[in-house]
Amino acid sequence: MNQRCAVCDLLFEREPGYFLGAMYVSYGLAISFLLFGLLIAHWLLPDVDLGWLVLMCAVLFVPFVPMVTRYARVIWIFWDRWAWPSPPGESD
Protein backbone atom coordinates (compact mmCIF):
# COMPACT_ATOMS: atom_id res chain seq x y z
CA MET A 1 0.00 0.00 0.00
CA ASN A 2 1.25 3.49 -0.80
CA GLN A 3 2.34 5.74 2.07
CA ARG A 4 0.59 8.82 0.62
CA CYS A 5 -2.09 9.58 -1.94
CA ALA A 6 -0.60 10.39 -5.34
CA VAL A 7 -3.21 13.09 -5.99
CA CYS A 8 -3.67 14.98 -2.70
CA ASP A 9 -0.59 13.80 -0.73
CA LEU A 10 -2.78 12.52 2.14
CA LEU A 11 -0.89 10.35 4.62
CA PHE A 12 -2.89 7.12 4.77
CA GLU A 13 -1.63 5.67 8.04
CA ARG A 14 -1.90 8.35 10.73
CA GLU A 15 -0.36 6.18 13.46
CA PRO A 16 0.84 2.59 14.00
CA GLY A 17 -2.15 0.24 14.03
CA TYR A 18 -4.31 2.80 12.24
CA PHE A 19 -6.13 0.23 10.14
CA LEU A 20 -7.15 -1.92 13.11
CA GLY A 21 -10.62 -0.37 12.88
CA ALA A 22 -10.81 -1.44 9.23
CA MET A 23 -10.92 -5.03 10.49
CA TYR A 24 -14.33 -4.32 12.03
CA VAL A 25 -15.54 -2.80 8.77
CA SER A 26 -14.16 -5.79 6.87
CA TYR A 27 -15.92 -8.17 9.24
CA GLY A 28 -19.23 -6.37 8.73
CA LEU A 29 -18.84 -6.40 4.95
CA ALA A 30 -17.91 -10.08 4.92
CA ILE A 31 -20.79 -11.12 7.18
CA SER A 32 -23.33 -9.15 5.13
CA PHE A 33 -21.95 -10.65 1.91
CA LEU A 34 -22.04 -14.19 3.32
CA LEU A 35 -25.51 -13.85 4.83
CA PHE A 36 -26.87 -12.45 1.57
CA GLY A 37 -25.24 -15.33 -0.34
CA LEU A 38 -26.63 -17.82 2.15
CA LEU A 39 -30.12 -16.38 1.77
CA ILE A 40 -29.94 -16.59 -2.03
CA ALA A 41 -28.47 -20.11 -1.89
CA HIS A 42 -31.19 -21.28 0.51
CA TRP A 43 -33.84 -19.75 -1.72
CA LEU A 44 -32.43 -21.42 -4.86
CA LEU A 45 -31.52 -24.76 -3.23
CA PRO A 46 -34.00 -25.35 -0.39
CA ASP A 47 -33.32 -29.10 -0.14
CA VAL A 48 -29.56 -28.77 0.44
CA ASP A 49 -28.26 -29.03 4.02
CA LEU A 50 -27.48 -25.69 5.67
CA GLY A 51 -23.90 -26.76 6.48
CA TRP A 52 -23.18 -27.39 2.80
CA LEU A 53 -24.69 -24.03 1.87
CA VAL A 54 -22.49 -22.24 4.40
CA LEU A 55 -19.42 -24.06 3.07
CA MET A 56 -20.38 -23.22 -0.51
CA CYS A 57 -20.87 -19.53 0.31
CA ALA A 58 -17.55 -19.39 2.17
CA VAL A 59 -15.68 -20.94 -0.77
CA LEU A 60 -17.35 -18.56 -3.22
CA PHE A 61 -16.40 -15.63 -0.98
CA VAL A 62 -12.64 -16.34 -1.00
CA PRO A 63 -11.93 -14.51 -4.32
CA PHE A 64 -13.64 -11.41 -2.93
CA VAL A 65 -11.44 -11.16 0.19
CA PRO A 66 -8.87 -8.74 -1.34
CA MET A 67 -11.66 -6.49 -2.59
CA VAL A 68 -13.40 -6.48 0.81
CA THR A 69 -10.10 -5.70 2.55
CA ARG A 70 -9.35 -2.79 0.21
CA TYR A 71 -12.83 -1.27 0.49
CA ALA A 72 -12.84 -1.74 4.28
CA ARG A 73 -9.68 0.38 4.44
CA VAL A 74 -11.23 3.00 2.16
CA ILE A 75 -14.40 3.14 4.29
CA TRP A 76 -12.26 3.37 7.44
CA ILE A 77 -10.24 6.30 6.04
CA PHE A 78 -13.41 8.13 4.99
CA TRP A 79 -15.04 7.57 8.36
CA ASP A 80 -11.91 8.59 10.27
CA ARG A 81 -11.48 11.77 8.22
CA TRP A 82 -15.14 12.61 8.78
CA ALA A 83 -15.05 11.93 12.54
CA TRP A 84 -11.63 13.48 13.26
CA PRO A 85 -10.71 15.91 10.49
CA SER A 86 -7.32 17.59 10.40
CA PRO A 87 -7.46 21.27 11.27
CA PRO A 88 -7.22 23.53 8.17
CA GLY A 89 -3.65 24.27 7.20
CA GLU A 90 -2.19 21.46 9.31
CA SER A 91 -0.31 18.84 7.39
CA ASP A 92 -0.72 15.13 8.09
Helical H runs in 18-64?
Answer: 20-44, 50-61
User: In terms of residues, how long is the chain?
Assistant: 92
Q: What is the pLDDT of residues 32-82, one digit of tens each?
A: 999 999 999 999 999 999 999 999 999 999 999 999 999 999 999 899 889
Boundaries of every domain in the chain: 20-80
- Kindly report the pTM of this predicted structure: 0.77
pLDDT tier, 13 (very low <50, low <70, confident <90, very high otherwise): confident
The reported pLDDT for the residue numbered 17 is: 87
Rounded CA-CA distance 49/42 in Å is 9
